[in-house]
Structure 1
């Protein structure tokens, strides 16, 4: 497997991780449960798969949220975490230009710019979690504290 930017960053930080490949079916709509199906493909518990959601505030600030596949993000809690009045997901067609990643391959590690990142507090309940590896069909398995370190994330309650 060719190393992705996210993997090269983790290597550079000396952070251990594993990779897992899966058959990419091209279906990446959150509303259709893409992250849950991914947990089935990987044979891991859905609560250990964390999806990356890129959002924009009313002041046009981009913020990144990581939420367990089995949960939905609570927009009120996302607004509180970001300290804003309004927040909503960016359009899928904007992802590549903003982050360097496409839907289904968007990871919080190594985006084009450094965005404030928030990870749901349930992440610390697990020995290892899965996040996108930076391209479709690839996941990174990583210890929660290492993910927090690599993304300089703030751990908050985001669950609905």
Structure 2
């Protein structure tokens, strides 16, 4: 069976960057990166999660952090030129990025947001 490619995979193809797709059974109750890492047999520190954040000055920002890490919103605000930053409400993730919860990537998103 041929794997369905995501926008991120198509973007990597366009850039001629080698990658390997890893399939796993999606569990809607456990979409976190630590769970996914366990499913694919990788350390959580090597499976990154992409969080969609909105800064008060810059607007939408992607934050890519190791699966076992926690986002420091104050630090992100500071390095991105914002006074405040907050996670985007889940209902806005798909319309903003083109990706669903648990499958968000800075590659191939609807817009090229800062990462």
Using the size of structure 1 for normalisation, the TM-score is 0.68
Aligned equivalents of 2:79, 2:105: Cα separation in 1: 19
* Structure 2 unaligned spans of 5+: none
Higher strand share: 1
* Structure 1: runs of 5 or more not aligned: 118-160
CA-CA distance at 1:27 after TM superposition: 2.3
Secondary structure at 2:105 match in 1: coil
Choose which of 90, 93, 112 in structure 1 pairs with 2:91: 93
Q: For residue 66 of structure 1, give the secondary structure of its aligned residue in structure 2.
A: strand
Q: Does 1:110 align with 2:112?
A: no
Deviation at 1:4, TM superposition (A): 1.5
Give the 5 Å matches for 1:11-90: 11-28=13-30, 34-59=32-57, 61-90=59-88
Number of aligned residue pairs: 113
RMSD: 1.2
Higher relative contact order (CA closer than 8 Å, sequence separation 6+): 1
Q: TM-score, normalised by structure 2?
A: 0.93
Deviating 4+ runs (over 6 angstroms): none
